[in-house]
């Protein structure tokens, strides 16, 4: 099954990592390595629209779906990223269904809030007709809403039931901070399980950030299918440390 959205909706396990470095070569390397997607992290890294343009260009060249973790929840923040050719968005701090609805409206042409022009990269620079472009975008664009706030836990069913939401994605660091618990901790794990259960009930995917690949198997058994593991920075640091430790042993 091809296409990130189709794979997610089919319940496949998909694996990605955060990208925090404004260099298209990183995207090429991750695609060659065989990841299923990457998440360009505008929230916590210096990735302006120009940098995102280069990352999206590299993603298209290597065939790696690129999701943008965007600065905010408004169409002005979201829609330009999709015009560049990003496959979808991951939106931080979605704590209620109204916010989730606004995110979907900014991503999809159907609700009528995303400005339409087939001229950007996503529309093959005007070579696709408007109708074909909007249909393809609405059918393939991925919406990941981040569950990072204690108050969101009591609204999970409403958030998950918003049409167009594909993934309830847990940001464990912010969620633990909001809950006032440790990261990791049993209380945080229980909250993540609540998100998984709500996602399953609504027939959407559950996603989770993990710091290390050793954590994937256990959470996959619990029902998570969308994983973002570490970041490009972490991968470089881990690899460099292995060299340093081996050379000094």
Residue (of 89, 128, 132, 135) closest to 110 by Cα position: 135
Catalytically active residues, by annotation: 44
Q: For the domain 4-248, what is the CATH code?
A: 3.20.20.60
pLDDT at 249 (0 to 100): 87
Mean pLDDT of 79-89: 97
Q: What is the pLDDT of residues 145-168, one digit of tens each?
A: 999 999 999 999 999 999 999 999
Other C-beta atoms closer than 10 Å to the C-beta of 101 total 18
CA distance 175 to 156: 14
Rg (CA), the chain: 18
| Confidence at 71, pLDDT banded by 50, 70, 90 | confident
Helical ranges in the chain per DSSP H: 4-9, 24-33, 49-62, 75-83, 97-107, 130-140, 156-160, 172-179, 186-202, 216-222, 232-248
pLDDT at 177 (0 to 100): 98
Average pLDDT, the chain: 96
Domain extent listing, the chain: 4-248
| Confidence at 1, pLDDT banded by 50, 70, 90 | very low
Question: Would residue 5 be called left, alpha or beta, if left means φ above 0 and alpha means ψ between -120 and 50 degrees?
Answer: alpha
Residue 129, pLDDT above cutoff 60: yes
CA angle 121, 35, 93 (to 5 degrees): 70
Residue 112, pLDDT above cutoff 80: no
CA dist 137 → 54, 63, 117, 130 (Å): 20, 16, 12, 10
Q: Are 202 and 220 in contact (CB under 8 A)?
A: no
Helical ranges in 16-141 per DSSP H: 24-33, 49-62, 75-83, 97-107, 130-140
Half-sphere exposure of residue 85: CA atoms within 13 angstroms, side-chain side: 23
Cis peptide preceding 184, ω within 30 of 0: yes
């Amino acid at each position: 099954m091809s296409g990130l959205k189709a794979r997610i909706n089919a319940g496949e396990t998909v694996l990605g990592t955060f990208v925090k470095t404004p260099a298209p070569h990183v995207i090429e390397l991750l695609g060659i390595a065989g990841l299923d997607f990457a998440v360009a992290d505008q929230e916590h890294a210096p990735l302006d629209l120009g940098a995102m343009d280069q990352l999206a260009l590299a993603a298209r060249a290597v065939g790696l779906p690129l999701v943008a973790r965007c600065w905010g929840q408004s169409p002005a923040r979201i829609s330009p990223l999709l015009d560049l050719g990003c496959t979808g968005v991951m939106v931080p701090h979605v704590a209620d269904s109204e916010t989730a609805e606004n995110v979907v409206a900014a991503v999809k042409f159907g609700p009528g809030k995303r400005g339409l022009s087939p001229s950007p990269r996503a529309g093959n620079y005007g070579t696709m007709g408007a109708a074909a472009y909007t249909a393809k975008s609405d059918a393939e664009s991925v919406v990941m809403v981040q569950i990072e706030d204690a108050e969101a836990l009591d609204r999970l069913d409403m958030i998950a039931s918003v049409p167009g939401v594909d993934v309830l994605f847990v940001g464990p660091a912010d969620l633990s901070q909001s809950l006032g618990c440790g990261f990791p901790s049993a209380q945080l794990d229980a909250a993540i399980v609540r998100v998984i259960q709500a996602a399953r009930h609504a027939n959407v995917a559950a996603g989770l950030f993990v710091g290390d690949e050793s954590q994937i198997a256990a959470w996959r058994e619990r029902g998570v299918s969308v994983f973002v593991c570490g970041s490009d920075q972490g991968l470089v640091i881990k690899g460099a440390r292995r060299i340093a430790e081996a050379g000094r042993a």
